Structure 1
């Protein structure tokens, strides 16, 4: 197994209620399996996954648990999510290549999927700036935009979203993401303030562990649907589904430990009547393309948070999944479909 560190600066900082993201660091992993080379990426994000040092340690330890033909023990014993993501992705890439099939078909969708709908993401900013950025995204062909909220007061965020509606109208699908910024009173205030704005959902209004509070908020008579994201990094999905705490689950393969786990959780969600949405943690091209394949493996997936390539000032290699008119292209070559030119 080959492990190579990388560092990527963002083209512009992403302002969220949890803080500012200005760079991404991680590791590219290459595994030789059944005479095929598989590519993976580990991009740990503090507060979501293990630290960078813990990720490196887990990756360096993994080969001691595996043989050339059996990496199952390494996958089972690797608890660090980003490290396991890299291992799982690299193995899936190699196996899909051996099967002469694109990764999304290896993950379980036998139908041809050429494109997946995606949303644009707009960070924190004053009302006029927020509306301008949403309008720019709509001009680029997006019909679904997620706006970061929670860094300001609820009233200020409501004013931002009202201004967006005034500028782009009612035909654009809007999502709001609070990144667990509020307590119960603030979340209830936000639900009331956002109710007239026809949001598709409000994402993670409260702390990740507030499962019962999210269930109460969801069933409190307000019509704003609830999506959970951070909660999936700290609580078993079965707990969230049993509590009926969400209408949507936002699944980040990097934070969940791999494309295989994200695909499995998506199945669980659908069986419980909850809608899965696939998103990235602003990863490099390897993990981002893997997330595209996960989304393509889920029938009738709504717009996903995969249009994140332009947040990076530079990438790890050419992008095989460009975005146009609010859709991201799904690579149809064998395996992952990413060529870094160093194999």
Structure 2
């Protein structure tokens, strides 16, 4: 088996403002594995805070060769690198079997055909009028769920932003908020009191990643749900579930170490009565399309955070997964369905 790598750097169309800072570009490594004429592509696009750094990812991938070495590589502390390797092998094997990746990932539970999966729109931190305009545009485009980034502003200001969005989009659009772990317990309780009245479905990571007890208390005291995101970085999902810290797990394949791991965690969460929501880390087209396959392998998911391709000013190759009326199309070609990406520039 031959392994090739290529580094890339992709600017965002405009910076994505979050409570953890602004994301302006995505840097990573594209992998190509070839064996007996069969080819698989993988992508490792680290995001510090969720994964290792780019330098650590690059070092983990360097010098890989041979299918056995790839399969046995210990990369549990390098989730983005493991994602790239696992995805390349999964793409190769699904392509070899002539099946789209989602049916290969689902195994014996594979659905016959999944045409699309529901997705949410993501609205970054911005002044209230810009936030409302972006959310209104999303609702007009057919999105039935809108996620608003919060946590970078005073709690009262963020609650006013979300309330204004609710007034603008009406009661039928599901509202979500994402604090990226920015609030203290006191701030989170003040926010939840306000967001409960606005009808927010859940808040992603309202408290710092390690405060599982605080997350559990919020669940006990408010109708607003709690979704764990950063709490899964470097921590077993079982620890979050055993602590009663989440109504939903945000399953980022890049942060969990690969599409196979994301499917495994999502299935386990659902068995425990906890929702699973598949999202990207604003990845390039190979990993983003693979995340769509992960969602398609899991029946009846809530709207997922997969409509992130438009956030990039340019990409590694053409995007064949279109968003129409709040749902994103699932490629039906063998493997991931982005086989021509390696040669694109």
Task: Give me the TM-score of the superposition, normalised by structure 1.
Answer: 0.96
CA-to-partner distance for each residue in 1:255-313, whole Å, 9 max, x for gaps? Answer: 11100000000011011000000000000000000000000000001100000011000
Pairwise CA distance, 1:111: 2.8
Q: Secondary structure at the match of 1:157?
A: helix
Work out the CA distance in 2 between the residues paired with 1:77 and 1:197: 43
Deviates more, 1:185-194 or 1:287-296: 185-194
CA-to-partner distance for each residue in 1:48-102, whole Å, 9 max, x for gaps? Answer: 1111111110001443xxx34563212x345311110000000000000111100
Query: 1:16 maps to which residue?
Result: 18
Query: 2:38 maps to which residue?
Result: 36
- Answer whether contact 2:52 2:77 (CA < 8 A) is retained: no
Work out the CA distance in 2 between the residues paired with 1:61 and 1:249: 34
Work out the CA distance in 2 between the residues paired with 1:304 and 1:117: 6
Query: 1:206 maps to which residue?
Result: 207
Q: Secondary structure at the match of 2:33?
A: strand
- Answer whether contact 1:33 1:91 (CA < 8 A) is retained: no
Work out the CA distance in 1 between the residues paired with 2:132 and 2:332: 36
Q: Which runs of 5+ in 2 are unaligned?
A: none
Query: 1:245 maps to which residue?
Result: 245
Query: 1:185 maps to which residue?
Result: 186
Query: 1:100 maps to which residue?
Result: 98
Pairwise CA distance, 1:150: 0.4
Pairing 1:299-314 to 2, within 5 Å after superposition:
299-314=299-314
Work out the CA distance in 1 between the residues paired with 2:80 and 2:45: 6
Q: Secondary structure at the match of 1:162?
A: helix
Are 1:228 and 2:225 matched, yes or no? Answer: no
Q: Which runs of 5+ in 1 are unaligned?
A: none
Query: 1:139 maps to which residue?
Result: 140
Task: Give me the TM-score of the superposition, normalised by structure 2.
Answer: 0.95
Work out the CA distance in 2 between the residues paired with 1:115 and 1:212: 36
Query: 2:52 maps to which residue?
Result: 50
CA-to-partner distance for each residue in 1:162-218, whole Å, 9 max, x for gaps? Answer: 111111111111100000001111111111111111111111000001111111111
Deviates more, 1:106-115 or 1:2-11: 106-115
Deviates more, 1:3-12 or 1:110-119: 110-119
Work out the CA distance in 1 between the residues paired with 2:76 and 2:276: 25
- Answer whether contact 1:212 1:243 (CA < 8 A) is retained: yes
> 1:299/1:34 Cα in 2 relative to 1: closer, same or farther (>3 Å)?
farther
Q: Secondary structure at the match of 1:107?
A: helix
Query: 2:82 maps to which residue?
Result: 84
Work out the CA distance in 2 between the residues paired with 1:267 and 1:312: 30
- Answer whether contact 1:201 1:227 (CA < 8 A) is retained: yes
Q: Secondary structure at the match of 2:62?
A: helix
Which of 7, 10, 13 aligns to 2:9? It is: 7
Query: 1:110 maps to which residue?
Result: 111
What is the number of residues matched between the two proteins? 338
